[in-house]
Amino acid sequence: MNSLQDYRRKRDFSRTREPAADDVPAGDRRAIFVVQLHHASRRHFDFRLQVGDVLKSWAVPKGPSYDPQVKRLAVEVEDHPVSYADFEGDIEHGYSKGHVDRFDRGVWTTQGDAEAQLRKGHLSFELFGKRLKGGWRLVRSSRRERQPAWFLIKAKDAFAGDVEADDLLDAKMTRSTREAAKTPAARAAVKQSTARKKTVPRMRKLPRLHLARAAAALSGAQPAVPSSKFFKPELARLRESPPEGAQWLHEVKWDGYRILAAIADGEVKLWSRNALPWNDKLPDVVQSLESLGLHSARFDGEVVALDARGHSDFNGLQQTLSGEAQLPLVYMLFDLPYLEGSDLSRVGLLERKQLLQKLLAHAPKHLGFSTHAIGDGKAIFRMATDQGLEGIVSKRIDAAYHPGRGDDWLKIKRLESDEFAVVGYTPPKGSRSGFGSLLLARPDPHVKSGWIYVGRVGTGFSNEQLRQLSEAIADKGSTQPTVKLAAIDPLLRGARWVRPAAVAEVYYRGIGNKNLLRQPSLKTMRTDKTPADLADSDRAGGKPKPATKAPIAGRKPSASKPSSRGSAGIEITHPDRVVFPDDGYTKQDVADYYASIMKWFLPGVVHRPTSVIRCPEGTAKACFFQKHMIQGLKHVGSAELKEESGALATYIYPLDADSVIELVQFGVLEFHPWGSTIAQPDLADRVVFDLDPGDDVAWPRVVAAARLMRKLLAQLGLESFLRTTGGKGLHVVVPLNPGCAWPQVKDFAQAFAATVAQAHPLEFIATATKAQRGGKIYLDYLRNSRGATSVASYSLRARSGAPVAMPLRWSELGKLRSGRDFDIRSAPKRMARLRSDPWVGIDDVRQDLNNMTRKLR
């Protein structure tokens, strides 16, 4: 990949008007694309995509074509600074001398890592500009050229057509082209292209399906004048458990930004929940709503970025909106309070949603319908928890749409998290600059405009957040608290206090005896909310108190011992705390299990970056993923590793038995290591395929699938090993020695999974879409990229029954009854009977993936 050094080397900035190479984008906008018409010695179009802090650039001599059958040559040139997107005018000096017009500009998206796709030589993406729209591809050519050659190709979609870039020139660009045409042939080409007068292809507007008549016929619908102005949204109250009964429907709680859409006279306006315009941030959503062909409407929904599992990814959304990533966004719609001249706010929710579903039946992919289930709220919440979702929103099916917060909408969160006002900060310590931690407060329910201090949060901040917050609060505040302090905290000496001005969403693990948050960690800064929003929410209803749980059946309640000594010499506090409530297993049982299995367990995790699942209060309460170093760990290794965003983060990894038992003391139940070591994090020594059967797949089919996988891998010359997951399926693991680069491993895993799924379409599927997986085995290859993890051999799973992920000999496969045949009791007994590890010799197998991906294609 090029750097800005080439850009800088080729230009004399004392003689050119082009922007200097050290201009850095602000990081508060989405990743852009720009196409510039450049009248250099040879007229061409410069096609540029923002990837990180630079514009990746290609020279396209004939310009982009909307015809999918046309492959336009695109010659890769040096990276340009993002500020170059604003450049127009004459370049009077240098190799790029000539006139530049801006042909188009907008945002772009791609599913996955843009840089990885470019390294692979095939980038699929979407453009959202005024002239260039829809899907496109850049494919690297095998032709040997002085500069890397690519082809720019239009995807077959709603925007495809017989249109060329020259057909779309405006008067200014046409004049520049005409002035630059110095030869008769060039002038003839200009005359021919400008005579066609074709327009930008448009997405076909969907038929309105007589929805105006259907809306007007609903009970409670009333005629109303359309408006594209902001309307106040209905808000949900926080509750600990979902309501029961058939009068409630339950939706996924999407982890994104609430967006309100209003259409009048066909014009779309997007608003945040605080009445801020969002059209510029979401041109993809605007274009998709325009394609519905509506004259007037109002929509309520959440804009999300979806991960490979189809779950909303809030970090991915934030990174996309700030330009750090280019993920596709989806507007998940869950309400329709107005449609085509009819106010539907008094119509029952279920009828509104049924009409909305009809409207979205053929909508573009950037508009999604938020599906729901009626009744059995506990089962729906349990399902959401099992799938790792943030929670659910429960709504009365017959309720009207009321602005503000009421009891018709309830939100139930899986993770214990909440939003607090920032009321101050502590000074920084050590190498940290700006501040040490943020001081948090919640509204005082008994005092109007009053706030109560709830604790400090100093972890979970990205480097960019630290920088921005430090600049915002630098030298501000006073030494006098602006909130009520429930207790004197000596750690607040030197703190600076400010009036509530920002909102932080924080994870925490219960409330301590001084009514302070336990183990708080920042989830995100909620720039879409203000402290006034918190006051409205909490004082309107207050948060429910946590429910107390009854003693486990069959066990006598007893006073918990204050501590005991773990087998590795680590103190285990609260050893009698029940962590598997359905089975009665305690924290001490967990420590004893790992101590008994330690010599088998350690080789799979030692010196590997390891994510863990912590359940400090047991599996019945909130569990959470932890991969970064936390305060208090003394026996666990830590290493600075580069994350996908490019930032450095401190990862944890086990050093020895003490590390494992110390993590158990911190509430860890599961261990999920990388497929590489701390010493060589960029070199994978494992490939893991997860065979995840659908609910209606019988176990013998999973067994047969694993055997087929082994056979197909063997045909490629690869030896494989077998492991139960402690869940529904099996892992087939391929060792690599001396190892392979992660991009190579990822390409192979994807190609192998796709090949198997194509050859056996009735048995396997290689896509993560839940709706397509019925009756099939999902061949999950997504654990094979840098930073991805899979459960360790012998690790417990935080599930009922305390199952264990167990390595097996292939000869044992036929004896298995399920993927959770072994548990906290049977696993140590099994290993005591065996003379050697089932995976003995795995580290001595010498094999790699060289030429493997090519064999599959």
Catalytic residues: 253
Q: How many CA atoms lie within 13 A of 153 on its CB side?
A: 16
CA angle 144, 147, 149 (to 5 degrees): 65
Residue with tokens 């089975």: 583
Contact between 254 and 302 (Cβ < 8 Å): yes
Structure tokens, 306: 């979806």
Q: Say how far apart CA 556 and CA 566 lie, in whole Å.
A: 24
In 3D space, the residue among 827, 338, 419, 815 whose CA is nearest the CA of residue 585 turns out to be 827
CA neighbor of 686 nearest in space, from 633, 642, 646, 738? 738
Neighbours of 751 (CB within 10 A): 18
Q: CA 8 to CA 54: how far, in whole Å?
A: 13
Helix/strand/coil for 126: strand
How far apart are the C-alpha atoms of 256 and 370, rounded to whole Å? Answer: 13
Q: How far is CA 267 from CA 195, 227, 295, 296, 366, in A?
A: 31, 10, 8, 8, 18
Residue 757, SS3 per DSSP = helix
587: enclosing H helix or E strand:
helix 587-596
Determine the Cα–Cα distance for residues 161 and 749; give it in Å rounded to an integer: 36
Residue 311 and residue 388 in contact, taking contact as beta carbons nearer than 8 Å = yes
Q: One-letter amino acid identity for 160? A: A
Tokens 């599906």 sit on residue? 371
DSSP class per residue in 469-532: HHHHHTT--BSS-SSB-SS--GGGTT-EEEEEEEEEEEE---B-TTS-BSS-EEEEE-TT--HH
Q: How far apart are CA 612 and CA 614, in angstroms?
A: 6
Distances (CA, A) of 656 to 493, 598, 601: 38, 9, 10
